[in-house]
Structure 1
Amino acid sequence: MSRRSQDAPLLITALLVSLALLGGGYWLVRSNGLLGSESPTPSTTHNPQGGPAPSLSSGEQVLLADSPDKLAAAAAGQAGDPTQAIALLRKSLQQRPNDPEALIYLNNWLAREAPQRTIAVAVPAANLPDVAKELLRGVAQAQAQWNQGDRERSGPKPAWQLRVVIADDSNNPATAKAVAEALAADPRVLGVVGHFSSTTSLAAAGVYQRAGLPMISPSSTAVTLSGLGDAVLRTVPSDRQAGQALAMVARQQLKLARVSVFYNPKSAYSQSLKTEFVQQFTADGQGQVQLQEMDSEPIDAQRAIGQAQSFNTEGLVLFGERQSQGSEGLVLLGDRSTLPSALAIVEANQGRLPVLGGDSIYSLDLLKLGASAQGTILAIPWHPDLPQSLDFAQAMRRRWGGDVNWRTAMAYDAAQALIQAIDQEITQKPDRQNAPGNHPNEAQDPTRSAVKAALHRADFQAAGSSAAVRFANTGDRSLPLVLITVREGNRSGTGFDFRLLNPGP
C-alpha cells in the first residue's frame, strides 16, 4: 500500500460512475421536442426461431407511434397510395421535425422509382424509444444527405438511392437474433447498423457472420465483439479503451488508490468494462478495488455509499495489511437496467464526492440531478464541442433543432461507412449495375461479400461525424475518447450541461 492511500481522509472519495449504463441518452432539443421494388414490403416477417415475427418496417408500419399523421401515412402505404403517404409524412414532419422515423420513411417513398440499395438499422424501439430515436437520427441524416443532397453535401445527386429498413429488437437478445435471421434472409439487405447493446449485438453477431452480412454497431463496446468475424464491426471504441481511460483518470488525475466497483454480472458490457478497468487500475500493484454487484432491482444507495466508505483491505488478499481505510472511489459498471440505481447513488452522494464515468451516463437524467452531478467527469467517443465535430454538429442542429449525442454521431458514422462501401462497389463495377436481367430497383449488385470486403480494405475510409471511419482487421475502430464534465449551463434546460473537461484555447 502507498503512504498516499494510507493518509487519504475517509470522505475524500471518488464516485466513478461508468459506461455501463448504456442507454438513457441525452437529446438536447430546443424545439418540438422498404424492402420492395415498387412499394414497401409488408412487415410480417417469418421468425426462423419460432414465436412472434420481429417487427421490420420501411414505411408500411410505425414502430414509434408518436404521430397520427405518421400512422395514417403507414395506412396509405399499405393501401398502395404512395402519394398520400408522402403528403402525410411531410405533414407529420412539419409538426415534429425531430422525428427520424418519419424522415426515413419519407425518403424511402421518395426513392421508390429510383435505383435503390438497402440497409437496415436495428434499434430498441419498443422499450427504449428515446435511444431508438437517437440512433435513427444518425441514420436518417446520412440517408437524407445521400439521397437528396443539401448544404452539407455538394455535387449532383447520386446514381442510386438508399432505402432504410428499421428493425425493432426490443433490446432483447432472443429478439435481436430473430431480427438478424429475418434480415439475413433477404438478399437485398446489404448491411446493418446495430445493434444497440453489447448483449444484443453478441446474440446477433453469429447470424450476420454466417450470412456474410456486414453489421456495424454504433454503441456496443464489449471487448468480446472484437475479432468475432469479418462481418462484425463497430464505430464506437471498445471497453478496452474506455476502461483504461477511466482507470488512468482515477489513478493519475485524481490520485486514487482505492475504489469500489459496482457492476452487473449478467451484462456482457458490464463484465467487459469491469475487467478492463480493474486490470488497468491495479496494474502497478498499488490500486485496490472493492467489487459490488447490482442488477435491475432498486439499490439502497445510502447503504452502498456506506459500504464504500468503510471499504478496507480485508477483502483484498494481496493487500491485507490495511485494517480501516475508507474507499477512495465508487465505480458503477452496470448496464441499462441498472441506470436508476446508479442515478440514485449519485443523488444520495449530494455532490460530496467527485464522480467519473463513461458514455452511458451521458444522459439528461444525470443532468436533472443538478448540483449532485456537478463536476462529474465522463469518457465518451464524441462531443459536439470538439473542433473536429463542429461542422457535423451544426448540420445536425439545423435539421433536428438541437444538439445530438454520441449515439447519434456513431450511428451516422456506421451508415456513412455502409453507403461508402456500397458506392465504391457500384462505381468500380458500372458495367454490372445495368447488366441484362437486373431490375434497376433491385439491390443485387454489389453483393454483401463485396460490401464487406470494401469495409476491410486498407485504403477504405468514410467521412464521419468527427473523423474518418476506418476499421481494423478485428472490426474495431480507433477513435480517441473525449473527457467531459458536468458544469452549469443553459443548453439542456436543466441548468447543467456536458462540457469539454479541457476545452483548450
Structure 2
Amino acid sequence: MTEKPYIETNLLKKPPFKSLEQLSTMAQDNNNRFALYATLLALGLVGGISLLLWAITSRVDRSVQVDPSGSVLSDENLPQALRSRVSAGEKALFDRPSAEKTQGIEAIAQNNYADAITAFNASLAKDPNDPEAFIYRNNARIGDKKARTIAVVVPSEGIGVSLEMLRGAAQAQYDINRNGGIDGALLRVVIVKDENDVDVAEAISQTLISDEMVLGVVGHYSSDVTLETAPIYAQGKLVTISPVSTAVDLSGISPYLYRTVPSDSFSAAALAAYMVYYREDRNAAIFFDSTSEASRSLKAEFASFVSAWGGDIVAEYDLSVSGFSRDVLLKAEQDSADTLMIASSLNTLDAAVDIINANAGMLPVLGGDELYNRTLLVETRANSQALTLSVPWHLLSRDTDAEFVRSSQDLWKGDVSWRTASTYDAVLAIATGLQGDATREGLKAALDSEDFNLDTASGPLSFLPSGDRRQVDRLVKVEAGTRSGAGYDFIPFTPFE
C-alpha cells in the first residue's frame, strides 16, 4: 500500500486565525481568493459552515390587463417549432398522459375550467406525484380571474429532473395562491420545455421577452443554456432565476440573472475540504465532461481548492470523448490516486454509474449535485456507499424548513430533492418581488434591494450583487435505507462536527 502523503497536521485541527477581527483584516488585505476561501472554509466547516458564504461572491404594468390572446398562452402567437413546448394546461408536454389528465387538458383548451378541475382531481387521485397535472389544476382554478404570469423552463431531456423542478413550481404556486396570491392576483404558471438545447432555449427566451404578460422566468436547467440566454433576457429586462445552474461564470454575467443555488465554488470547496482536511487524502483523479459548462466549472474549482490546500490532481479524464473504461480507473490507481472526483453532466450520468460500479467501493468517490439522482442509487446499489456529494439542500438537514418538508411529503406522497426546493424558492422569490409593483422593473428593483430577505424552503434567501445566493452547500453520503425505494439513501453528513 502506498504511504499516505504528509499533511501539516496542525492545519487539520484549528483554523489559521484567532478571531473574527483578524479574519476580517485578512479578508481586506488578501487578494488571493483561494487563500481567503481556505480561511473561511476552515472556520465554516469547523465552527459553522455559514461563514463560507462571505467568501464568494421604466415602469409599464404588464400584469393583468393584457389580452391573453396576444401572449404565449395562445398557440397562434408562438413560432411553429415552439408550440409543442409551451403550455399553461391546454396541451400535455410529457408523454402518455392518463385519460383523466387528457380530459382536463381538453377542458382547459375549451375554457371549461370547472370540468378541467374535476378531471385533474381524478388524474391526481391516481397519480399524486404528477406536477404537470397539479400546475394545470392550479391554473384551471384561476380561470378568467386576475392573474400574474410567470414561465418555468425545464429541460425535458432527463424527464426526472424536469418533474423535480416542476414539483417545486407547483407547490410554490399552490402555497402562493391559497394565501391570497400577489396583491390579490393569483399566480399563473406557464410550463416551457427547452430540451436542454441552446438553439431552442434562445428561441424560447426571445418569445418570452416579447410577451408583456410574462413577468419573470424560472430556469433554465443547464449552465450552458443559462449562459447563452442571459443576454436575451437582459435585453428584454426580464428577470430570470435559475434554480439549478451552478457554473461560476454565471456570477455577475447579467443584472437580470439570479440563482437560488450556490455556485460551483461552494460545492468544490466543501468537497476539497472533506478530501484534504477530513479524510487527509492527497491525490485526486477527476472525471468530467468538457462539453458541459457546469462540469468544467466544478472540475476547475475543485482542482484549484485541492491545489491551494496542498493536494494534487494526478489525472483528468474527459468522459465526453470516449466514455469510461476500466483501464482508465486502473491508470488512476497507478498514478497514486486516493480519491475519485466525478464532475458529471446530465449527459454523462451513465458513465458516472460505470465509474462507481467499477470502483466497487475501493476508493472514496466525490461528486457534485448532478449525481444526486435516485436512478444512480438503483444502478449502483452497494457501490454507491463510496459516494460523498455536495448539494444545495437536503430535507433532513438541520436548517431545512420543516413545514416545507411536511407539506411536500403530503402533496407528493414522498421525499423531494434539492431541485424541488430550489425551484420552490425561485417561484417564491418572484412572487414576493412582485408584491406592490407587479412589473418587470418592480421585480428587479425588489430583488436588488438590500431589504430583500425571504424565508424559503432551504433557508433565508437574499442575493449578492452578482445575483448569487448567500448560501453554502451541504455534504451527503449514501447509506442503506428505505426512503428512496432503491435500498440506499442520501443522508446529510457534517464531517467537522
Q: Tell me whether 1:77 sits opposite 2:108 in the alignment.
A: yes
Say whether 1:464 aligns with 2:456.
Answer: yes
CA distance in 2, matches of 1:107, 1:207: 29
Partner of 1:68: 99
The one-letter code of the counterpart of 2:442 is: A
Distance 2:72 2:303 in 1: 49
For residues 410-453 of structure 1, the C-alpha deviation after alignment (integer angstroms, 9 at most, x for no partner) is 0000000001001142xxxxxxxxxxxxxxxxxxxx22111111
Task: Give the letter aligned to residue 86 of structure 1.
Answer: I
Aligned twin of 1:314: none
Residue pairs, 1:363-382, within 5 angstroms = 363-368=373-378, 369-382=380-393
Q: Which blocks of at least 5 consecutive residues in structure 1 are unaligned?
A: 8-33, 150-154, 312-325, 426-445
- Output the CA distance in 2 between the equivalents of 1:44 and 1:169: 19
Rounded Cα–Cα distance in structure 2 between residues aligned with 1:124 and 1:252:
37
Q: C-alpha distance in 1, partners of 2:461/2:334?
A: 46
CA distance in 1, matches of 2:451, 2:356: 45
Match of 1:97 in 2: 128
Structure 2 contact 72–208 (Cα < 8 Å) conserved:
no
Q: Secondary structure at the match of 1:259?
A: strand
Q: Using a 3 Å threshold, how does the CA distance of structure 1 residues 364 and 173 change in structure 2: closer, same or farther?
A: same
Q: Which moved more, 1:70-79 or 1:412-421?
A: 70-79
- For residue 403 of structure 1, report the CA deviation from its aligned partner: 0.5
- The RMSD of aligned alpha carbons is 2.5
Q: Give the 3 Å change call, closer, same or farther, for CA 397–52 of structure 1 in structure 2.
A: closer
Query: How far apart are the structure 2 equivalents of 1:209 and 1:36?
Result: 24
Paired residues for 1:9-408 under 5 Å: 37=68, 41-47=73-79, 55-65=85-95, 66-125=97-156, 127-149=157-179, 159-295=184-320, 298-300=323-325, 302-311=326-335, 326-368=336-378, 369-389=380-400, 390-408=402-420
Partner of 1:487: helix, strand, or coil? strand
Which of 442, 457, 460 is the matching residue for 1:450? 442
Give the partner amino acid of 2:331: Q
Partner residue in 1 for 2:491: 499
Q: CA deviation at 1:221?
A: 0.2
Aligned to 1:419: 431
| Structure-1 separation of matches of 2:475 and 2:294 | 20
Q: Distance in 1 between matches of 2:292 and 2:181?
A: 46
Instruction: Give the distance between the partners of 2:436 and 2:259, measured in 1 at CA.
Output: 20
Q: Which residue of 2 aligns with 1:5?
A: 5
Render the CA deviation track for 1:135-168: whole Å, top value 9, x for unaligned: 000011011011124xxxxx89961100011111
Q: Which whole-Å CA distance do the structure 2 matches of 1:497 and 1:375 have between them?
A: 12
- Structure 2 unpaired stretches of 5+: 8-63
Tell me the CA shift for residue 44 of structure 1.
Answer: 4.9
Partner of 1:25: none
Judge conservation of contact 2:287–2:341 (CA < 8 Å) in 1.
yes
Shift of 1:255: 1.3
CA distance in 2, matches of 1:408, 1:423: 23
CA separation of 1:388 and 1:397: change in aligned 2, threshold 3 A: same
TM-score calculated relative to the size of structure 1 = 0.81
CA distance in 2, matches of 1:296, 1:405: 30
User: 1:465 Cα deviation (Å)?
Assistant: 0.4
Q: Is the 8 A contact 2:344 2:370 kept in 1?
A: no
Mapped to 2, the partners of 1:145 and 1:57 lie a distance apart of: 21
Q: Displacement of 1:333 after TM fit? A: 1.5
Q: Are the counterparts in 2 of residues 416 and 464 from structure 1 also a CA contact under 8 Å?
A: yes
Q: CA deviation at 1:334?
A: 2.7
Confirm or deny: 8 A CA contact 1:264 1:293 kept in the other structure: yes
Task: Give the aligned residue type for 1:488.
Answer: A
* Distance of aligned partners of 1:193 and 1:393 in 2 relative to their CA distance in 1, 3 Å threshold: same
1:290 CA displacement: 1.4
When the two structures are aligned, how many residues end up with a matched partner?
A: 435
Deviations 1:187-221 (A, max 9, x none): 11110110011111112111111111000000000
Deviation at 1:79, TM superposition (A): 2.8
Q: CA deviation at 1:54?
A: 6.5
- Which letter does structure 2 place at the counterpart of 1:278? A
SS of 1:492 mapped into structure 2: coil
In 2, the alpha carbon distance for the partners of 1:107 and 1:40 equals 18
Residue 152 of structure 1 corresponds to none
Shift of 1:393: 0.9
- Tell me how far 1:305 sits from its aligned partner: 0.9
User: For the Cα contact (< 8 Å) 1:54–1:175, is it kept in 2?
Assistant: no
> Is the contact between residue 261 and residue 291 of structure 1 (CA under 8 Å) also seen in structure 2?
yes
Cα distance change of structure 1 residues 306 and 3 upon mapping to structure 2, 3 Å threshold: closer
SS of the counterpart of 1:352? coil
| Residue-by-residue CA offset, 1:83-123 (whole Å, 9 max, x unaligned) | 22222112111111111111111111211232211111000
1:484 alignment partner, SS class:
strand
Aligned counterparts of 1:421 and 1:255: Cα–Cα separation in 2: 45
Residue 5 of structure 1 deviates from its aligned partner by: 2.2
What is the distance in 2 between the residues matched to 1:333 and 1:466? 23
For 2:102 and 2:321, the matched residues in 1 are separated by 33
Aligned identity (percent) is: 36
Between Structure 1 and Structure 2, the one with more helix by share is 2
Higher relative contact order structure (alpha carbons within 8 Å, sequence separation ≥ 6): 1
Counterpart in 2 of 1:21? none
Q: Which position in structure 2 is the counterpart of 1:322? A: none
- Structure 2 counterpart of 1:473: 465
For residue 42 of structure 1, report the CA deviation from its aligned partner. Answer: 2.4
Q: CA deviation at 1:76?
A: 2.2
Specify the alignment match of 1:484 in structure 2: 476
